[in-house]
Every structure is written in C-alpha cells, then in structure tokens.
Amino acid sequence: MLRQLRCLMVPLAMLGMLAAGSLFAEPVTIKYILWDANQLPAYQKVADNFMAKNPDIKVTIDQAGWNDYWTSLQTSMVGGTAPDVFTDHLAKVTDFASKGQLVDLAPYVKRDKIDTSIYLPGLADLWTKDGKRYGLPKDWDTIAVVVNKDIQKEAGVTDAELANLTWNPKDGGTFQKVLAQLTLDKNGNNGLSPNFDPKNVVRYGMEIQHSDDRGQSQFSCLALSTGWSYTDGTFKSNYHFDDPRFIQTISWMLNMTQKGFICPYEVTALSNSTLFPAKKAGSTLDGSWMIGYYANSVDFPVAFVQTPIGPVGRKSMTNGLADSIWVGSKHKEEAWKWVKYLASAEAETTVGTFGVVFPAVKAGVDNALAAYKAKNMNVTAFTDLATGKNTTFVYPVLDNGVKVSEIMVQAFDTIFLGKGEVAATLKAANAKVNALFK
C-alpha cells in the first residue's frame, strides 16, 4: 500500500505545484475609469509603464463621458460592479465618502511614507476630511479668457490690452470696453459706437454658459476678484450668495446681456459653447481641461488670456482631481499600488508630456508647458494664475452638492430670464442653501 501511495506522490506533487504555480501566475486585474477621453492615451502609457514594473497586476482603463460618469459609477457601486479605482472630483468626493464608498488612504500613505510635498501647495490637503484621506492629487485646472485671435485683430484689440484687463462691478473697467469692442451689430457698428443697435447683434463680445452654484467658467473669476468668497472657508458651509459684492457681479453680468455685449441667456441652453466655435462670439471663459478642444476642434487661432484684474486682484477658481479606491474592491492592496503610482512624480510627469492636463507635481508643470508649446499653444495664462500669489481659489468641499447646485441654477434662470430681481432672488436662494446645512 505504501508503494502505491509513493507512486501517487510524484503526480500529486506536480499537481500541487501546478496549482500553486497557477495561483501565483494569475494576474490581478484592476479596473480603472476616467471621463476625459483626451487623457486616455496619456493614462494608457502610464498603465503600460506600471504593468511593466508590476507583471502580476493588469490595469484596464475604461472611459465614460462626463454626463454618464457619475450616474453610472453610482449604479455600479449599488450593483456591486464598480471599478477598483476611479478618477474623483472635489465636488463629489464628500458625497461618496459620507456614503462609505471610499477607502481611507491615510494608513497606506503613512505605511509607505508618501511625501505629499511634491505637489503644488494646498492641493494635497483638499482630499482629507476628519483625518481621513480619500485621494492623492493628480492634476489641477484654472480658468482663463479664451479669445478668437481673428476677431481680436478685426476689432482692433491689442494684446497689451488683453493682458491687462481690469474689471470692477460698477463700470466694468477695461474688460467691459474690450467686450464692447468685440461686439458687432448688423450695420457694422461695434459696441463702443453711439449707433450700436443692441437688438441686432451679429457677433457678441463674449459667450458665457449658464451658471450653477460653482460658476467655474462663469461668474467665479469676476465675483472672487471683488474679495467675495463662497463661504468662510474651504470646509465651512455658510454660503454668502446674498453678499452685496456677489449681487453687484451678477447685476453687471445681467446688464451686459441687456446691452448686447454678452450673449443672451436663452442662446446658451446647451451645456457646451456653440457661438464661440461658430465665430459668433469674440471670446469666452473656459478651463484648462478644454485646451485640447480649442487646439483641435475650432477653425481659428485662439489666445488664452489671464482673467481680469478686479478690485482685489486676479482670481481664478481652481479644481483638482485625484484617484480614489472603491471600498468594495476585491484587490485593495493592488489598487493602492496603482493609486500610489498614479500619484507619483514619474507618472504625473509622463501625463504632463502629453500636454492635456497640468499635473499636480511641480516638476510636471514644466513638461506640460513644453508640450503645449510644441503644439503652438501659449498656455501661460493658466499656469501664471496657478503659481501666482493668492490668485487661486478652491470651491468649498462640502456635502449637499447636488441640492445646492439645483437651488442656484433655478435662481440664475430666474434672474437671467428677467423673471426676478437680482438681489431678492439671490437672498432667497442663499437662505434656502444655508437651510440645507442646518
């Protein structure tokens, strides 16, 4: 009997080795999603580099457009099929965290001694709450004025004028003058001429989309430059939409639409700009994530100009992205390895070379600038705002994001469609918003 058992030992041992071998050879697959299709080639390269360094981990990248991204992410979390790692946004992170869907990265960061000083100042702290950390910053964006160079030349606006735009809510400063100059009516009069006909405008000075509570590409640069701020601090929740400075800013914007220098509210109901690419508006406000769009999908050269200098200086809202790990991931250790690599200087500088976003590590910004320069785009307007003194402002990181947005969108609809008075509407909306946080 022993002899028979001994005969079995070798094949059994081989089976055992095969089993163990296959256990070790089985690569762990990490699912990663992002929304910006322009960044897909960059992150694919980062994933390839990561997989070369970690042959037992496979990273698959999937992309879903912004409109579907959050709803499909939430349904997949409910359905138990969410990706292991996903690109997170400051406006949404508290929502996910409060629902317990994110892995706390603080213990991992401590264990692996991650150095958070390689990032631009202030970015890393935004992703922490109550001592827990939900992401490591990977890129940032700012807002600038985008100008159609052909229209600028035709209207006779000089580069020097654009570089030194001033603004105040009372008379609009040189910003209003430039907008008027870029506006054209049916008879060829621009906005500065006494014969200008605001009822027959063929080209507007600026196209501005509908604002929500953030107003990132809408009112933010103007309102912030008056010294106003959304709340008393990044994590404080007492909103100030009833502040006189904010009311004055919105009133100025409404006045501009009535004068015909900014396009009417009804024309911009779509969430993307249509007048500017159609050459029916001379300028617009947009974020650095749209640089690729202006490089590839418009028919004319564009210039990026810093936001106007307001009563307290230039301001731009800045936002940052980070990668978060889903709490239901079955491979948290491997997911952490991927997140750690994504947040490393090496990965972020690689992303920088593709010239699509500005990486959060200081070293990556220069790479990005060089990459953009190679594509013939001068994007210093965005980076100067980011590295300037006191020029950037982060929207408060709070709960109830969706409800606040709903209330403010309704308020702006009322104001800009002429259905309600500016001060009264904003005061009422602000009261509703603050009531959410009681």
Nearest CB to another protein, comparing residues 237 and 329: 329
37 contributes a contact to another protein by CB under 8 A? yes
108 contributes a contact to another protein by CB under 8 A? no
Which of positions 43-62 make contact with another protein (CB under 8 A)? Answer: 44, 62
In angstroms, give the least distance from the CB of 371 to another protein: 13
Interface pick for another protein out of 132, 279, 332, 427 (rule CB under 8 A): 279
Residue 246, token pair as written in the block: 């904010």
Nearest CB to another protein, comparing residues 387 and 405: 405
Interface pick for another protein out of 65, 227, 264, 313 (rule CB under 8 A): 65
21 contributes a contact to another protein by CB under 8 A? no
Interface pick for another protein out of 98, 158, 258, 272 (rule CB under 8 A): 272
194 contributes a contact to another protein by CB under 8 A? no
In angstroms, give the least distance from the CB of 292 to another protein: 7
In angstroms, give the least distance from the CB of 62 to another protein: 8
CA distance 176 to 169: 10
In angstroms, give the least distance from the CB of 68 to another protein: 6
Which of positions 283-312 make contact with another protein (CB under 8 A)? Answer: 286-287, 289-290, 292-293, 296-300
In angstroms, give the least distance from the CB of 54 to another protein: 23
423 contributes a contact to another protein by CB under 8 A? no
In angstroms, give the least distance from the CB of 214 to another protein: 10
How many residues interact with another protein (rule CB under 8 A)?
42
Interface pick for another protein out of 12, 20, 202, 278 (rule CB under 8 A): 278
Nearest CB to another protein, comparing residues 92 and 432: 92
In angstroms, give the least distance from the CB of 322 to another protein: 16
In angstroms, give the least distance from the CB of 33 to another protein: 10
Q: By rule CB under 8 A, what string of x and - marks binding of each residue 69-98 to another protein?
A: ---x--xx-xxxx-----------------
3-state SS string for the chain = CHHHHHHHHHHHHHHHHHHHHHHHHCCEEEEEEECCHHHHHHHHHHHHHHHHHCCCEEEEEEECCHHHHHHHHHHHHHHCCCCCEEEEEHHHHHHHHHCCCECCCHHHHHHCCCCHHHECCCCHHHHEECCEECCEEEEEECEEEEEEHHHHHHHCCCHHHHHCCECCCCCCHHHHHHHHHHCEECCCCECCCCCCCCCCEEEEEEECCCCCCCCCCCCHHHHHCCCCCCCCCCCCCCCCCCCHHHHHHHHHHHHHHHHCCECCHHHHCCCCCCCCCCCCEEEEEEEHHHHHHHHHCCCCCEEEECCCEECCECCEEEEEEEEEEECCCCCHHHHHHHHHHHCCHHHHHHHHHCCCCEECEHHHHHHHHHHHHHCCCCCHHHHHHHHCCCCEEECCCCCCHHHHHHHHHHHHHHHHCCCCCHHHHHHHHHHHHHHHCC
Residues that bind another protein (CB under 8 A): 35-41, 44, 62-68, 72, 75-76, 78-81, 209, 217, 271-274, 277-279, 286-287, 289-290, 292-293, 296-300
